[in-house]
Amino acid sequence: MRIGIDIVDISRFQLVVQRTPRVLQRVFTDRERDYCMAKGNPYPSLAARFAAKEAFRKIHPDLSRGIRFQEVEVRVDEWGRPGLVLWGNALQSWQALGFISLDLSLSHSREQAIAAVIAKGGDKTDESGTG
C-alpha cells in the first residue's frame, strides 16, 4: 500500500490563479473547472483538487514523470464521494506499476485544503525493495 498527501494554502493558490488565469486550463479538466466555478467561492475546491493531483504524484516517483495535471481528474460520485479518474500517461504508468485500487479523501478549512490518496498495488509497486 502507498499513500500520497498534499496540503495547499487556499489564499496562496487563489493569488496564483488570479495572477496567471491560464493555470486553470493547464491544471484542471473542463469538468473540474465547471464543478468548482459553479460554487460561490471556487478556490477551496480548486485547491483541494490541486492537492489531490499532487498527492497522486507522491505515491510513486514514476507517477510524477511525463504526466500532465489534466491526466489526473477529480470527480465526485452521486453520494458526494471524491475519486480519481486517470487518462493517458497517468493511466499507463499506473497500470505498469501494477496498482489495483485508488482511494481519495479531500478536505478543507478556511485556510487550507488537503488531499490523501491511498493506492493498493501488485508486486510491481516496490521492485526496488526500498519501500
Among positive and negative, which fits the CA dihedral 70, 109, 40, 13? negative
**Which of helix, strand or coil describes residue 107?**
strand
Q: Which fold has domain 2-125?
A: Ribosomal Protein L22; Chain A (3.90.470)
Position 131 confidence tier, pLDDT thresholds 50, 70, 90: very low
pLDDT, tens only, 11-33: 999 999 999 999 999 999 999 99
**Domain ranges, ordered by start, for the chain:** 2-125
Place of cell 453520494: 79
pLDDT of residue 79: 95
pTM: 0.91
Give yes or no for a contact between 5 and 114, defined as CB atoms under 8 angstroms apart. Answer: yes
- Burial category of 65 from C-beta neighbours within 10 Å (exposed 0-12, middle 13-18, buried 19 and up): exposed
pLDDT, tens only, 37-84: 999 999 999 999 999 999 999 999 999 999 999 999 999 999 999 999
